[in-house]
Structure 1
Amino acid sequence: MSLINTEIKPFTAQAYKNGEFLQVTDADLKGKWSVVFFYPADFTFVCPTELEDLADNYAEFQQLGVEIYSVSTDTHFAHKAWHDTSDAIGKIQYTMVGDPTGTISRNFDVMIEEAGVANRGTFVIDPEGKIQLVEITAEGVGRDASELLRKIRAAQYVAAHPGEVCPAKWKEGEKTLAPSLDLVGKI
């Protein structure tokens, strides 16, 4: 079953952000656009490149009113240790959520049970708490923050303009489509 347009499930977790431990719940993801960015584990190889890419683009996410929550099955303590010892991870200003029980990973259907870690999963959640975008990649395939930003802009545009859709490769300011009988067979 697809998670698209489903409401996020309840959770409570401990997290690390800007030198502090804090509690994060599903309620924190509502009322604004959010990205939940799952990755397999701290102190690995592809993961820090992805998280650094998000950190390098965090100001642009913030300008769009989007908050980022990175999630792995590590603890919030491990997140702090990684943040304190890695130059790439030290750039992070967004929330790093610990999911040692796998509850959040299971809620989003990304848990690899036999390994006890999450797949690389990206979820864009709208202000109502509904999932609008799902991307899951294989363990060795890194993601791109600039493409995620493009998709978020498209999702926000469609949400603000009912009856319009964004075609492939759409960028902000470009022409959209208004599906109708007149367009059938014309594209």
Structure 2
Amino acid sequence: MSLIGTEVKPFTAEAYQNGKFLTVTEQDFKGKWSVVCFYPADFTFVCPTELEDLQNNYEKLKALGAEVYSVSTDTHFTHKAWHDTSEAIKKITYIMIGDPSHTLSRNFDVLDEATGLADRGTFIIDPDGVIQSVEISAGGIGRDADILFNKIKAAQYVRNHPGEVCPAKWKEGGETLKTTIDLVGKI
């Protein structure tokens, strides 16, 4: 079953951010756009490159009204230890959620039950807490945070302009399509 168009299921998790531990729930995903990036594990190889890339683009994502959350099945304590020891992870200022219970990984359908680790999954969630975009990648394929900008902008445009959709390669300010009967068969 697709998660697109579904509301984020209830959860409570511990997280690490800027030298502090905090509790995060599904309510934190409401009232703003959220980007939730699952990754397999702390202290690994591709993961720190992705999380550093997210940090390098964090201010631009926040300028779109989006908050970033990274999630792995590690604990919030492990996130702190990684933050204290890795040059790439030391830079991170967004929230790093621990999911040792696998609740979030199961809720978002990214848990690899055989390994107990999360797949690489990126979710864009609207201010109502509804999932608007899902991307899942194999463990060895790192993601590019630049791709998130146009996806978020397109999701925001569609939300604010009912009856219009964004075609392939759409960029902000580009032409959109009106979903009317007059357009059927003309593309």
**RMSD between aligned alpha carbons?**
0.7
Q: What residue in structure 1 maps to residue 177 of structure 2?
A: 177
Q: In the aligned structure 2, how far is the partner of 1:160 from the partner of 1:92?
A: 31
Question: What is the CA distance between 1:185 and its match in structure 2?
Answer: 2.2
Q: What residue in structure 1 maps to residue 138 of structure 2?
A: 138
Q: What residue in structure 2 maps to residue 54 of structure 1?
A: 54
Question: What is the CA distance between 1:186 and its match in structure 2?
Answer: 1.8
Q: What residue in structure 1 maps to residue 73 of structure 2?
A: 73
Q: Deviations over 1:15-66 (max 9, x none)?
A: 0001111010111111111011100000111111110110000000110110
Question: What is the CA distance between 1:76 and its match in structure 2?
Answer: 0.5
Unaligned runs of 5+ in 2: none
Q: In the aligned structure 1, how far is the partner of 2:7 from the partner of 2:125?
A: 9
Q: In the aligned structure 2, how far is the partner of 1:157 from the partner of 1:181?
A: 21
Question: What is the CA distance between 1:87 and its match in structure 2?
Answer: 1.2
Q: In the aligned structure 2, how far is the partner of 1:46 from the partner of 1:110?
A: 17
Q: What residue in structure 1 maps to residue 114 of structure 2?
A: 114
The two structures have a TM-score, normalised by structure 2, of 0.98
Q: In the aligned structure 1, how far is the partner of 2:13 from the partner of 2:174?
A: 40
Q: Give the partner amino acid of 1:64.
A: L
Q: Verify: 1:11 aligned to 2:11, yes or no.
A: yes
Q: Secondary structure at the match of 1:147?
A: helix
Q: In the aligned structure 2, how far is the partner of 1:181 from the partner of 1:9?
A: 36
Q: What residue in structure 2 maps to residue 149 of structure 1?
A: 149
Q: What residue in structure 2 maps to residue 128 of structure 1?
A: 128
Q: Give the partner amino acid of 1:73.
A: T
Q: In the aligned structure 2, how far is the partner of 1:33 from the partner of 1:63?
A: 11
Q: In the aligned structure 2, how far is the partner of 1:49 from the partner of 1:181?
A: 46
Q: What residue in structure 2 maps to residue 44 of structure 1?
A: 44
Unaligned runs of 5+ in 1: none
Q: Secondary structure at the match of 1:14?
A: strand
